[in-house]
Amino acid sequence: MKSIKDLGDLKGKRVVIRCDFNVPLDGDTITDDGRIKAALPTLDELREAGARVVVLAHLGRPKGEVNPKYSLAPVAKRLGELLGTEVKLAGDVVGPSAQETAAALADGEVALMENVRYEKGEESKDEAERIELAKKYAELGDVYVSEGFGVVHRKQASVYDIAKLLPSAAGLLVKKEGDVFSKVLSDPERPFVVVLGGAKVADKLAVIDNLLKLADTVIIGGGMAYTFLKAQGHEVGSSLLDEANVETCKGYLEQAKAAGKQLLLPVDVRIAKGMDFDAKTVDGAVTVVKSDAIPADQGGLDIGPETEKLFADTIKAAKTVVWNGPMGVFEIEELSNGTKAVAKALTEVDGLSVVGGGDSAAAVREFGHADSDFGHVSTGGGASLEYLEGKELPGLTVLEGKN
């Protein structure tokens, strides 16, 4: 995979760079600018080289329609603050404003085009439609840099197709993400522990399937744990349950046992009658029960204290740990203990600790941890999951000339 240095002298050249600036917003206020900060080293390197930087990025899901709710204006403002320079925002993606804004750049200046997902061709399944849009992106610059790891698992015009049209390279972030996950999957220092959480077991089945072959221990928490508990024959009450995959989970439990691998499940859980996610409240009292003693009228919403210790001790004894998915509804204070315990344990790993993006990355920042407390905090939840599944990611393979 080529790096920026392989693109040669960039002074005076327009560099089209795809970033992932899909940040959470409260009105016009960015509540977590981690993805913007992650791109700064590459943007600084390009500016110092005298490049004229044309940034492509997305925000939310406007579905091919212009929607002011998803404007990148707050991103342009914050990016300018972090870079210490004005970042011009074009009024469109590839139209007259974008063309004029890109053409007017001086050496070392940065401009942001509007949300690429305003364009129908960006996420189109029709390759010809994507290529037409990619040609317009390519007209904005001389070379292309891929820095949006959060979207490299998708064949999208600004990620995949443009890389076939311009001399292309990976940015510092994309290269680091690729190096970290490649090491984890091909040469992990052992013991190698994987921690999986989140709501849906179906989202992680392919990851479990792949990592049961590679890891020494797979820890299962969050909503997905209850399908595994059901597979063990336990009552799970009103907990999240994927009935269609109970037999699949039973198979994974047997597979782990046969291979001499640990597949750790919660031994106790925090339960309640229900919750209101939007209001951040719990219906009734939160109590702790053994994981095989969940009442029929209540549901598991977080791991319990015994499980926190079991999981944390296993994590801290590892040399390589990858974590993807919270242990409970961490956004509600009473249900955040399990996720906090896992996050803290990862900071104490004597080896490589990887936070796999998405909700896990949001959680560690919400709990006050710095990215530097971990070996690596990924910027791509879906991309990191597909990497862990062992899939080839189109946005990376195209940079390696495999497409």
Assign domain 181-388 one CATH number from 3.40.1190.20, 3.40.50.1260, 3.40.50.970, 3.20.20.70: 3.40.50.1260
Do the domains 181-388 and 4-174 match in fold? yes
Query: Would you state the pLDDT for residue 10?
Result: 98
Encoding tokens for residue 135?
């040609």
Q: How far apart are CA 317 and CA 191, in angstroms?
A: 8
Task: Give the annotated binding-site residues for substrate.
Answer: 20-22, 35, 58-61, 117, 154
- Backbone region of residue 257 per phi and psi (left: phi > 0; alpha: psi in -120 to 50; beta: other values): alpha
CATH placement of domain 4-174: 3.40.50.1260
3-state DSSP call for residue 220?
A: strand
Q: What is the pLDDT of residues 142-179, one digit of tens each?
A: 999 999 999 999 999 999 999 999 999 999 999 999 99
Could you say which of 13, 14, 18, 35 is catalytic?
35
Q: How far apart are CA 334 and CA 283, in angstroms?
A: 11
402 catalytic residue (yes or no): no
Strand bridging mode 268-272 / 287-290: antiparallel
Q: What is the pLDDT of residues 262-293, one digit of tens each?
A: 999 999 999 999 999 999 999 999 999 999 99
200 catalytic residue (yes or no): yes
Task: Give the annotated binding-site residues.
Answer: 20-22, 35, 58-61, 117, 154, 204, 300, 331, 357-360
Could you say which of 176, 200, 250, 273 is catalytic?
200
Q: What is the pLDDT of residues 202-261, one digit of tens each?
A: 989 999 999 999 999 999 999 999 999 999 999 999 999 999 999 999 999 999 999 999
Task: Give the annotated binding-site residues for (2R)-3-phosphoglycerate.
Answer: 35, 117, 154
Annotated domain spans of the chain: 4-174, 181-388
Encoding tokens for residue 320?
């390589």
**Which residue in this structure is represented by tokens 């040669």?**
8
pLDDT band at 403 (very low <50, low <70, confident <90, very high): low
Q: How far apart are CA 132 and CA 136, in angstroms?
A: 7
Strand bridging mode 143-147 / 168-170: parallel
Query: Would you state the pLDDT for residue 402?
Result: 66
148 catalytic residue (yes or no): no
Strand bridging mode 110-112 / 52-56: parallel
